[in-house]
Each structure stands twice: as structure tokens, then as C-alpha cells.
Chains A and B, each alone.
Chain A
Amino acid sequence: MENIRNFSIIAHIDHGKSTLADRLIQYTGVCNERNFQDQLLDNMDIERERGITIKSNAISLPYRAQNGQTYTLNLIDTPGHVDFSYEVSRSLASCEGVLLLIDAAQGVQAQTLANLYLAMEHNLEIIPIINKIDLPSADIDRVLEEIDSELGLDPDTHIKASAKEGTGIEEILEAIVERIPPPKGSGDNPLAALIFDAKYDAYRGTIIHCRVFEGCVKAGDIIRFMYNNATYKVEEVGHFLLQRAKREKLSAGEVGYIIAGVKTVSDVRTGDTITHQDRPCPGPLPGFKEVKPVVFASIYPIASDDYQDLADSLEKYKLNDASFIYEKDSSAALGQGFRCGFLGLLHLDIVQERLEREYDLSIILSVPSVRYRFTLKDGRVLYVDNPTHYPDPAEIDKGEEPYIRASMMLPERYLGSVMKLCMEKRGVNSNMNYTGPGRVELSYEMPLAEVIFDFYDRFKSVTQGYGSFDYDIIDYRESNLVLMDILVNGEKVDALSQIVHRERARARALNACDRLKDEIPRQMYKIAIQGAIGSEIIARSTISAFRKDVTAKCYGGDITRKRKLLEKQKEGKKRMKMIGSVSIPQSAFLAVLKSDND
């Protein structure tokens, strides 16, 4: 156990986490040049393309240190987005130390801070690393100053590196060995292992990723999940190299996997404790929490024939994403579909993209919603995350919506525009604090619904990419809510309905009308688009008709070509949804989420 180090890399997005992981893997020789590809730990195409890590991942690196001893360095990769902060916290709980990566040009950012706080909560040894020192815009002195003043860490403990160019890698590996303490615990104690992730394997079922704190586990053991007392017989345990490497047992201090005939990842809770059935540990490891979705939207197939395909794909997708939930839903306008819950908008984006990409589905997404709370006059309390279930306004006594505390870091020069944005988004109780010369840490309490609408894109745009943002959900607050509907040629499109604050309804409706006007192709007749609260029309736009499209000639030799053209157009129309007599493209549903200021 003396020769094990468990660590994680934490960083703001784009500060070079995956590249550093690649270098550590290459340096320790786990992977030869032949099977090396960039961002080894980001297995999914989406992860590589977006440059963010979505799933946790782990790998054991063998390292022969300068002191002559060989160590096993377990790198636990963590997701890099606020939607997945609980997963991050479980990964960190499995470590004794972290590499805190800071971009030499960008300096400390909101997620740097948020991640640092998380690491401190877990009493982890923190090694600050200034990455990207090769950049011409690198400003190491400033970053050192920020490490001192904003992070409160000793700047002398830092290491300078360029993961891209491979500088500083050995120094980092030595620091991991020297500064991060070895795990504690005893292989003789009753088993206590923390689940920090689970992945689905078509042949083996669920692969549980865990860190063993006490005791040891081996094939044939009967284990128990402390959250639901489910028991399983262990089939295999092992370490993570680039592939899984079977071992005889996993002991206290080690990171690895357990295969135990668990059917789906939904049977496993990240953060749960695994123990032995006949010799359980005294209690679960601390910090377990059940993650709950905060953003909800319905998914419909564009062609209603694809409903069963969609159902099958969601079932398969769910195998590997325990935080995604769904149930049957139906829309008057869009037919049969599913109501789904997500950890945040990025999570929603990812699910949508994977359904389209990996399962080849054309889907329409309704306008995302948060979960509102309504107290009715008869005292009943309703949680509503689907505008379709909006209660009768006459019966509502009180409406409430979830609030978040948004933490932002930004250069002072953007302060004005960010504050304006936050106020526009109904932000209150601001707090501001100068963390260094020209840098501000700003916090606001804001309705979550405003944040999911388009806050993040606009924040990035007003700070020209220099601002960073993170949030925590805090509580429910009373709010003057209304149901805003969109009508296309007089037909209500329920998938476009939104629950909004009354004061924001008109602006939101106008925005939706304008967006739809741009996205819905002109048709043979004029199309009216209206936003309404109940029977009151609060916004409208009109799409004029096109009036001439016919080709002049169509004789014997033209017919086949003409038909092929029309078939193609018909095919294109299939990717649209007929609402009444208007064809609405998929893009129109997405466009409603965007604001004018993009």
C-alpha cells in the first residue's frame, strides 16, 4: 500500500487536463506509440470533439521513481462540467491528492476554484501545475500571484509544465510519489469500497469502478450495495490499464473494477459503498447522495413510425447513463414520445447528440424546463416539470421555482455587462469580491430556468470567453409564473410551451415567434405564429407565402428528373414535423431555445 498513489487531475475546461493525462500515460509506458491516440481517456467521440470529459475514467500507471522503487499511480479522470459535479466529488473522494491544473495564459477560473474547494473538502494534497507555459501569452508571474491570492496556496509548491510539449512530466510524476500520501486502511478490515463510476459492457454487464478503502474483494465473494442492500456474486476484479487487467483481488488502497453480474448501470449508484454480505463494514462511506435531474424535456421521433426505435435506443442508452431518466409522454402536436430528466443542459445536449449519432434517430426535443413547485388552493403541492401538466391557473395559490447560486470569475472590464446580464436574468443578492488586480469573483442568486435558457452562451459572449461560471442549486422561491403557449396557424404546439415568469413572458414569446419565423420555411400559404398566455395573444410573427416555384417545362424526358427532385424534397419534409398543415423543421424546435443576442 506504501507504493500506491491515488490522484486526480482537476482543471477548468480547456486548461489541458486530457493532454496531461495522455503525457503521463505515455511517459509511464502503459501505451506504446502504435495504439496511442489523443485524449486516451476520453473514449467517446463527443468527448474528443467537445474537448470535455463526460464520463469518469481510471487508469493505473506503473512508475519507477528516482528513489528506485516502483509505484502504482492510479489516475482517476473526472468529468469537466458543472452538470457532473457530483461525479467529480465521488472521484475526488477516491483520491489522496490532486493535480490542480491552471492554464498559464488564462490563470485561475471559476472551475479551478470550484474544483479546488471540492479537493479541500476531501482534505486532498494539492499540487498546483501551471500548464501551457509554451504559449506566447503565458504569464507565469501573474498565475503565481493568483495561486497565492485567489487559491490561498503556497506558490512555491507549483510545477511548470507544458503537457503539449511534454515538459515537466517527470517532475509531476515525482511530486505525485513524494507529496501525495499513500492510502490508509487495512486489508484485514471488513470490505468498504466506494463506487465512483459504472460502465456498461455488452458481454459482462456493469463494470463497477471503485476505490477500496478497507478490506479486500475477490472473485467468488458475495458483495452487498449498502444503498439498496442488493447482493451480487463477484465474477472478476482487476485493475485498469488501457484495457481491463484481471487480478486475483483488490485490496485496501487500490483502485479497480468489479464485475458481479449487475445488469445495468442503473442498478448501481455512484457514491454507494460496497461491502461483504457476511462481514459488512460498520457503515457506508460518507458523501453518498442520489443525483436528481434538474432539467426536463420531451423527446419525440420525427416520424411516428420511429417510436419503437426511439424506445429501444433510450433503453440501450440508459444502460450506460444512470443519471438519465425517462418515462412515456405524449404530445397532442408531436404524438408519442418520452419525458426525460437531465443533470443539466450539457447532459441534455449529449444525450440528444448520442441518440442521433449512435442510434441514427431523428428526434425533436421540446423546450427544456426546470421542475416547478405549485401549491394549490386546496393545499396540495405539485411538482411540475412538463408544461403540459401546468395546473389550472384558477387553482394555483403559489408558484415557486428553483434558484441557484451562480459563481463567476471574470476580468473586471466585463463586470458591467455581466451584471447587466445577471439582472436581466432576474439575478439577486449579488456578491462581489476582487480576487486580484483587475479580477473579480461575482456571485448571484438566479432562477435555474433563466440559466438553462441561454445564460451560459451569453455569459461566454459578453466576457469574450474570459469569464468562467459554475453553479449550485440552493432552494425554491416564490415566483409569478405563467404558461406561455406557441400557436402555429392557430394550432397550439404543446412541445413549444414554456412555464415562464410573467414579466419575461412577452420577451420570450417574441423571441420564439421570431426564431420560428426564421426557421420555418415559407410554404404555399401565409403562416401566423403567435405566443399566448391562455387566450391572450402576447406576440406574433408572420411567415409570408411563396408564390411561384413551378418549373416551366415538363415533358417526356423531364419527368424522371423532376420526380427524383420531388422525392428528395419529400424526404426532406419527412425530417419535418407536420403541425396542422405546416411543416416545421427540427431546427425550429432547437432555435426557440436561443435568444436574439447570440
Chain B
Amino acid sequence: MSGFQFPWRSRRMIEGEIEEEFRLHLELRTEELVANGASPESALRQAQEEFGDIDAARRYCRGEDQRHERRRRWRDTSEDVVRDLGYAIRSLWRSPGYTVTSGITLALGLGITVAVFSVVHGILLRPLPYPDQDRIVTLSQVDTRRGSREFVSAANLRDWHDRSTLFSAMAVAEPFSVDLFGDGPPVSLQAWLVSEEWMETLGLRPVLGPGLRPEYFLPGAEPVVMVSYATWLRQFGGDSLIVGRSLTLDGEPVLVAGVLPPTLRYPSVSDLWLPRAFQPGDASARPRNYLRGIAKLRDGVSIEQANGELARISTVLQEEYPRINAGIVAEGKPIVDELLGDVRTDLWVLFGAVILLLLVAVTNVVHLAIARATKQGRDIALRAALGAGRARLIRQASVENLLLVVGSTVAGFGIAHLAIRAMVLWAPADLPRVTEISFDPTVVAAGILAAILTAMTCGLVPAVFSLRSSGSSLLRATPSGGGRRDARFRHGLVALEVAMAVMLLVGAGLLGRSFVALLQQDLGYETEGRLGFTIHVWDKYPDVAQRVQFFRDAVDRLATVPGVESVGAGSALPLSKEGSEIRRPVQVDDELPGDQPAPEVVLTYVTPEYFGVLGIPLQDGRMFQRGENTAVAIVSQEAARQFWPGRSPLGRRISLIGDVTAFTVIGVVGDVRYAGYDDRIAPGLYLSNDQVGFGSMTFTVNSALPTNAILPALQEAMTELNPLIALGGIEEFRSLLGDTVAGRRYVLGLLGGFSVMASLLALLGIYGILNYSVALRTREIGVRMALGAHRRVVTRLVLRQGMGMVLSGLIAGLLGAFAMQRVLASLLFGVSATDPVTYVGLSGLVIVSALVAAWVPATRAAAIDPAITLREE
């Protein structure tokens, strides 16, 4: 094709040309006939007759011309594209360093962004599997005097249910555990006892069977059970005939009423779901608030309206039950808040961080592309001077970058795919909805959108920039590196990179320091080699004395298992999710509580060995003894400090409110952080289980053997005592402790990784731009040195240039981090969001590493030989 192109013709132009062509023909023919002696009228008529059907000719020619035009356009465009692509490929191929660096930077940036977005999308953005999730609320009892939010009691919920009008359904679930008897040894299963409207509230239907019909909740109804989806697959092999079968639960036959969908995960994934009717005992057990309450708002009812109604009902209940319900107000909260809660901040912080990382990556690539474009400036200026249009030059530069971004996007999706798998694999166990994270179309669409924005930025900014500076000046002998304005722009980009990297570093640094501070907290107990399991014997030993005897025998028997160093048991263990944490208000000595609410303690029933196995130290007094037969109690240091400040608690008395027994304090033990490092220390009260005979005990075994090695022997020992007892809820304390910090470790690891990557990119940016500017200024430096400038001066010149960018970026980054402190504060522990150590330390680190990055170009500048440089020019 020739270089010159006709402009493309529009439909109107085509029609106009045909019209003109035909008119000319008729005119010329008429003139000719007139010249031959015809009258003008007859000449025109003859010309028209000779022409024939002019309208048909018009239509036909127009059709042909348009087809031709379309083909020409398509060919021109595709030729241009092929030419631009070829040019781009050759051009990228000629500078492999640039191509590889930019490609990897973009691929990583995009890949990681897509991965984090997929996590955010899977967990936060996608709706929950419950229909009308906006109308589902979780209910709690807020104790307005203590300011604490608690679970609900069956009696209260029943009153809210019966007296409210704004809810279409309301239900409770009670944690439960049963042993399933089958062919082998009994299997301990987790269960929830749910009231009639539970499934209706969540909007879930069974996948098999009729489900929990209303008649199953009537008194004396046939006992039925619903099987969870996972248990159905695992325990019953997905048997489609399971409905109507009879299972033996805790020795009783129970009919299977159906299989529940896998989406049922609230309050937790559980093995079995059983109907829970309102029991006569519930009414008298109003203080027992350990049930989960949920409700569904009627259509169009706002949560504020509903909470208003609940508050009014609660006021009435406070009057009806002044002792038990004092200060208790029911409150609903969207179920999304309950399910996602704290994770939201973590994930949004991570998402913000990854966006910063992507911006750093893009900035770096833009800046590399500009440096490269300036190097090619003469080439571009030449082509511009030879008549290549601006649009075409922009297009060529853009195609090159587009190619780079397309390649990086493809690689980025590969990286994202791996990163998602890694993030899911290493996700903390309590990360909600982690199974719902996937590489779904929305994620792909978001990734492509990010890639398009990236392509536009990486393509257009350098193209526009190079055009602006590709004036005639570049055609002169030597490029001097663009104008001052351009240099400032490039330096600004590097400073921006530094600023964003510093923000990430500060975030990661604060989280890191929080993590260290957290691990330095004293738990108050040992976890290494400690193993826990839970046993419920209420129904097997209905008698208190029997239960006391059983647990004594069990501790003794288990202690003889080879490999076991010590054994103890308690109604709850720190960190354990299996035990029953009991919080009870107490009365100290004989003081009558005034308006102050009764203080609350964490109450644990223990065997005498409990403290020894867990390594909880005795501070004062004595431990429990075997067969303790007077009403005695051990308190924690915090309880001693709160209840008997400045006095010895020994010999003092403490009683549970609602209970007549007053216990005499015989010992003080160390404080315990029940839920892990970041738990607040609560006052603890320990009672001897020999006096209480609590039937659900969590055993803890201290053994150097691995869990799998010792577990069979423990089960065997237990079977000797009672063949119907299954060891349930096996827990390793070390991993439980790990779980408590897993979320923090996860966020810290990711944020740390992002900030290191961003910092490396920023350092690469500093290095690149200084190197480049030294290369451009070789002649200037040569002249300076020829005029007597010392090498040190030259080095300093380059370093100063580098440090200028770093310092402005650093200051901007620190200010940015400072501005974000409110977001971060909620993730920190023991460290202020404005922690000076972090800020100063990281500033130092950034300056030192920037100096290192600047050192190479600086020494290169100092090594310039003025003689050679000047001769070359």
C-alpha cells in the first residue's frame, strides 16, 4: 500500500460523488447533441433515454461503493493493527530488561489484587446463602448495667416471641452434644437443639425429608433428628433412604426426619439438628442465657423499629422479673454483622493495601515506560517530523503497552489462581465463608476491569508524555533528558511510589509490633503438649455422687496410661471451645449489693489436678484436696484484687447469686487469659467438682507423645470405665492457641508481604530513575569534571537528587499513614497507631535502603571519564 491514504468516505459523500458523476455525464451528452444541432429539450431527453434507469443505477452503484469502502476500511485498520503489533513486538523484544521488569511487576500487581479481591468478594460482597438476609437478625440480651452483650434464655425469647408483632419468625438454638451408637464405638457428635421457627427464620428447606414438622415440637412427640449435609455424606454415605431410618442417639432410638442443606452454618456447622420444644423447666431457668436467638423482621420493618419494640417488651419484662431481668434489654443485630464482624476491617484493610501495591506497580511501570520513551524520543520525534500523526504515534506507543498489559494480565490471572489457593489454604480456621472464595465470573470481570485501567494508565501516560516532550528539540544532536518539567514529573512519580510503599510499611510495621506485643502477654497457663477432650455423663450417671465418683476414677485411670504425665479436668478449659464457660454474678462476703450490679466471675468446676496440669500457679493459701467436703473456693488474683482490695481473701466468703451456699476462699491462683493473648483478664472463681458433680467435663492431659499416638490408649482406658463413653471434641492446646492469633498472623503476613513488594518496587524506581538520569547527564557530568569538579561532588549530586525524591515521598507516606490511623487502630494491640518507634524506625530503614539503591548510579556517575565523554560528543 502507498503511504498516502484517501480519507474514508461517508455514505453521503459516496452518494454525492455518484450524483456528480451522473450529472456530468448527462450534461456532456446534452452539450454534444446540441452541438450536433438538436434542440436543448430533445437533446436532454435523448441523453436521459440513452442513460436508462438512473435510479436503479444510483442504488446499484451506491451499494457497490459502500461494500468497497467497508472492505477498504477493514483492510486499512487491520493492516495498521498488524503493523503496530509487529512494531510493538520488535520494540519490546529489543529491550528485554524493560519488558521483563514491567511484565513481572504488572503480573504480580494484578494477580495479587485479583486474589485479594476474590477473597473480599467471596466473604464480604456475595450475599449469604439465606434468602432475605437483610431481614434476619441475631438476638442478644444486652445487660445495660454491665454494658455486656450476652446470649439469650429460652424463657426471655419465648416472651419476646409471643409479645412482638414486627417479626415474622423467632427461634432459639441450644448447644448440645450426643453420642451416636452404631457398629463401632460410639461417636460423639455436635448438635443444636432448635425451636420451631429456626429453619423458617433462615429460610432453609431440607434437601431430603419433611423436616421438623410442627408436631415434632409437641409434648410427648416422637423424637426426631435432622442430619447435616456433611454428616449425611460422611457418616451415612449420602444414603438417599436415610429419611425414616432410626438412629441410636445416647442409647435412645430417634427417627431421621431429613437432611439439611450444606448452607446451614449458623450458629455453626454442626452434625445434627434436633427439635427443641419449650420445656416446663425453661420458665424457671430464665437466668440461663446461653442460647442463640435469631429472628426475621416482617417485610418493610426496619431494624430500628424492631429494636424499639424489643426495648418496650424488655422494659415490661424487667418489671415482671425484677431480680433476673434487671437491666436486660433485647437487641437485634443484622446477621451479616454477626457472621462477618471483625473480619470486615481486616479484609478491607488488606484490600486497600493491595490497591496501594497495584498503584505502586503501575506507577513503576509508567515511570519505566516514560524513561524508555524518552530514550526513544529521537526515533519518535523523527517519525513525527516525517509526518506520522500524533494519534498514530500515541496508538503505537499504546499498542506496545497494551501488549505488555495483556501479557501481564494473562500471567496475572495465573498468579491470582495460585494466590487464591494459597490464601484459602493458609486462611485462619475461623475465617467465615472461606469455602465460598472462588475464581468466579465477577472476580474475572473485576480483574479485566483492573487490567483495562492499568493498560490505559500504562499506555496513555507515557505516550502523552513522550509526545509533549517530542518537540523539535529532540531532533537536535543530543537529548538532554527532556525539560525540567518532565524531570519533575518523573521524580514526582517515584516520590509517589515511595509514599505508597511507606504507608504500607507503616501499616505492616504497626501490625508486626502489635503481634510481638501480643505474644509477650502472659497467658497464665501452659499449652505445650496439652491435649483436651470433653465427656458428658449427665444421663449415664444421673446422680451427683455417681458423677463425682466417675470423674475421680477417670482421672486416676487416665493417669496410668503410658505417656501421660498428668491429667485433670474442669467444666471449662482456657482456649477450649468444647467446655461450658459459665459466667455468674456473685455476692462477696455478706455485703448486700446496692445499686451496683453484682460482680460477675468466670466459674469453673475443677478436679484437684486441674491447676497442676495447666501450670496455673498457686499464689496464696492452698489447692483443693481430694474429697474436699466443706464449701471451699479458690479465686484468681484478679478476683482477689477486685473483691478484697488490699486484704487477704483467705477465709473470706463468696456465693453465687441465686444459690444459698457460701464458699470459703482457701486459695488464690494466677490469672488466666481464657480466650488467648488478647483476652482481658476476668475474675475467676474455682469450685471443687467433688462438691458439685458437674456432668460435662473437659479433660486435659499433659503428654510428650503426639496426639495420634496417645489417643487410642486414652479411649481404651475410658472404654474400660464405661463402654458407652466416647472421647469427643479432641483439642490440642498448641493449635488452639495458634488459632487465636491465626487471623492476626494472616493479615500481618499478607500486609507484610505487600509492603515488602511495594518497597522493592519503589527502590527499583529510585535506582532506575537515577541510573537513567546519570546516563542522560553523562556529558554534563563530564564537563563538570573536566572543569575540576571532584568525584565526591558528583556522587553527592546524584545522591542528593535521589534523596530529594525519597524524602518527599517519605514525608507524604508518613502523613498518609498518620491519616489512616483510625482504620488501623482497631487492628492493633498494645501499640498506638501513631507509635513513634514504628514511624522513626521505618523512616530510617527507608532512607538507608534508598541510599543503597542510589549508591550504584552515584558511583557510576563518579566513574565517568571526562576525556572519553567529551570526545564521544
A binds B: no
Binding site for B on A (CB under 8 A): none
Binding site for A on B (CB under 8 A): none
